[in-house]
Structure 1
Amino acid sequence: MDTRSLSLFLNLSETLHFGRTSEACHISASALSRHIQQLEESLGVTLLVRNNRSVQLTHEGKRLQQYARETLQQWDTFKDSLMADSGELHGEISMYCSVTASHSFLYDILSEFRQKHPKIEIKLHTGDPASAIPRVLAGHEDITIAARPDKLPAQLAFSRITVSPLVYITPKAEVLEAELKQAIKKQQWEHIPMILSEEGLIRDRVDEWFRQQQITPTIYAQVAGHEAIVSMVSLGFGVGVVPKIVVDNSPLADRVELLPKQPKLEAYDVGLCALKKRLKSPLIEAFWSSR
């Protein structure tokens, strides 16, 4: 079964950029165009609207995007099942997590897994934890280490690894300016510059806390990734909110302090996430059950 054209189209439908797709898929731009044209001719519809500046999916293109994603996932699951029947598992698992999660959990998880399944390769991507679950839901990754959302999507499976408190961190006293030091001491939140995540579960919980206190916060910076928050706080720019596990694993842990009187936020429930239907794959199931 030739799934090459579907795979190329799916990648292009997500990047909406011929150059990036051809580079990622190791194919020339002209060959990529031919694959898309052949798909359009075969289906009798226009899948993409192209001009010199942009690429956009048509209605039919969006329908094919969903079909391609589901079909390729089912094909991978079927191939994996044949491998399981034939003996030792081999193949590739795509995984996403934050840098802190890779430091904190992956060594123990992967050490045992690699001993049991040495021929399964792990393709690891790291980045903003706010992107973790959306990437799994979109089919970009097989598994992620992520915080459990307040409402877990019905199609997701979640397996807890640990629970980490959310903590407010401040710069060390020696790098604090007098005005900021006084505001932190008195917890005058409207005068304290905050360094927060751009989006995600923690940002939602912090925003809700400020709403409950009827306080309009002063946002100094919004960043992607919890590690960057620790860095900015350590330089004296303001107060940040991160999972305690991030502070514990940061090389800058000795340059920040926990706020003595912590506002109460619901803890960070960290675990593995995957689409329930992907657990039918012997490769994914093997990883899931190995921890």
Structure 2
Amino acid sequence: MELRQITYFIAVAEELHFGRAAERCHIAQPPLSQQIKRLEDELGVTLLERTSRRVALTPEGKEFLRRCRDIRDRLHAAIVHVQDMSKGLEGMLCVGFIGPASLSKLPQAIRAFRERNPNIRLDFSAQSTSEQLPLLRGDRLDIAFVRLFGHDTSGFNSMTFLREPYVLALPEGHPLAEREVVDITDLENVPLIFNQRIAQPALYRSLVGSFHKAGFMPNIVQEVNTEQSTVALVATGLGCALVPASSATDSRAGVAFRPLTGDLPQWEITALWKKNKKCASLYKFIDVVREFREVN
């Protein structure tokens, strides 16, 4: 069965006249009649009752017309859908992000994109950088917001979405909380909460190196796997922590934040996507995200 036979049948069934149906399909009447006959022979069903005076649908013909119209409408919808996808008007994007990105302007960027592109569905996945990179390479993510430090980014395009300094999170009432600014040299022997070495080994070494340059090794009393956990432990009085400046928006009771000076790396979130990826909606998303970058 060919699609054109379905088109021809719909025309005959709606016109109930082979001559008008032939004009509608831009073919001669004999070939049209032959195609309808072949269709009936293939189905083994009579779809049309023909006399010299009239053409009428059989009960089977009425049911077949209903289903053929459904096929036609579904095909048309499929055509429109893929054409809109190619223009970035419809589709789905899979977006990965690390937890701290939720404290940046990423949620605002996502909201702006959704308002401008209501027919593009966004699917989100909150995971670590190490978990996101293989998903990105395997096309299970379209774009990832990650924290890079020594990771292999070959084959990816990148855009720094957020760059900001570290600040010191410390329990309220801590002696250093009385200062307006804290220097890294002030942290000698101060109990510190660090992100896990296994999660970001290169970054861990860089931060420890900053303390080493200041003339001492950090007094690490606890390692955790997220910034949110870090701030929560600071609130318990366990120790102080180096956190991104955006964490200072967390109004958690029992925690104070102070600017931190010293030879420290910047805290960054980077957007990554595969080079030469063909996805119009992805590039529309990137254009919106670019409007919300915070790069100091």
TM-score bracket relative to the smaller structure: 0.5 to 0.7
CA distance in 2, matches of 1:185, 1:157: 34
> Would the aligned equivalents of 1:127 and 1:225 in 2 still touch at CA under 8 Å?
no
Shift of 1:223: 1.1
Question: Alignment length, in residue pairs?
Answer: 201
Query: What is residue 65 of structure 2 aligned with on the other side?
Result: none
- SS of 1:162's equivalent in the other structure is strand
Counterparts of 2:104 and 2:205 in 1: how far apart (Å)? 24
Superposed displacement of residue 246, structure 1: 1.8
- Listed as ranges, the matches of 1:65-144 within 5 Å are 82-84=82-84, 89-128=89-128, 131-133=131-133, 135-137=135-137, 139-144=139-144
Select the structure of larger CA radius of gyration: 2
CA-CA distance at 1:151 after TM superposition: 7.3
Q: Any unmatched runs of 5+ in structure 2?
A: 1-78, 177-182, 290-296
Letter in 2 for 1:225: T
Partner of 1:263: 262
- Please say if residues 175 and 236 of structure 1, whose CA atoms lie closer than 8 Å, have aligned partners that are also in contact: no
Q: Is the 8 A contact 2:96 2:126 kept in 1?
A: yes
Q: CA separation in 2, counterparts of 1:157 and 1:85?
A: 22
Residue pair 2:98, 2:127 contacting (<8 A) in 1 also: yes
Cα 1:185–1:83, aligned 2, differ >3 Å: closer, same or farther? closer
TM, length-normalised to structure 2: 0.56
Q: Distance in 2 between matches of 1:186 and 1:103?
A: 28
What is the Cα deviation at residue 202 of structure 1? 4.4
Deviations 1:229-268 (CA, angstroms, capped at 9, x unpaired): 11101111012111111222x231x532335663331222
- Structure with more helix by fraction: 1
CA shift digits 1:75-123 (9 cap, x unpaired): xxxx9x9544766632221112233422432332122212332121111
Q: Quick one: distance in 2 between partners of 1:257 and 1:130?
A: 30
> 2:273 is aligned with what amino acid?
A
Summarize the Cα distance change of 1:87–1:192 in structure 2 as closer, same or farther, 3 Å threshold. Answer: closer
Do structure 1's residue 162 and structure 2's residue 162 form an aligned pair?
Answer: yes
Given the alignment of the two structures, is residue 220 of structure 1 paired with residue 218 of structure 2, yes or no? Answer: no
In the alignment, the residues of structure 1 paired with residue 217 and residue 255 of structure 2 have an alpha-carbon distance, to the nearest angstrom, of 24
The sequence identity of aligned pairs, in percent, is: 18
**Which residues of 2 match residues 204-219 of structure 1 at below 5 A?**
204-213=205-214, 215-219=216-220
Give the aligned residue type for 2:89: L
Change over 3 Å in CA distance of 1:237–1:113 after alignment to 2 = same
Unaligned runs of 5+ in 1: 1-78, 177-183
User: How far does the alpha carbon of each residue in 1:178-209 deviate from its partner, in whole angstroms, 9 at most, with x for none?
Assistant: xxxxxx998362x3322111132642431221
Q: 1:128 to 1:172 in 2, by over 3 A?
A: farther
Q: Distance in 1 between matches of 2:236 and 2:94?
A: 35
Task: Give the letter for the 1:92 counterpart.
Answer: M
Show the 5 A alignment for 1:1-291. 82-84=82-84, 89-128=89-128, 131-133=131-133, 135-137=135-137, 139-149=139-149, 153-173=153-173, 187=186, 189=188, 191-198=189-196, 199-200=199-200, 202-213=203-214, 215-248=216-249, 250-252=250-252, 255-259=254-258, 262-278=261-277, 280-291=278-289
Which amino acid counterpart does residue 231 of structure 1 have in structure 2?
A: A
Q: CA deviation at 1:134?
A: 5.4
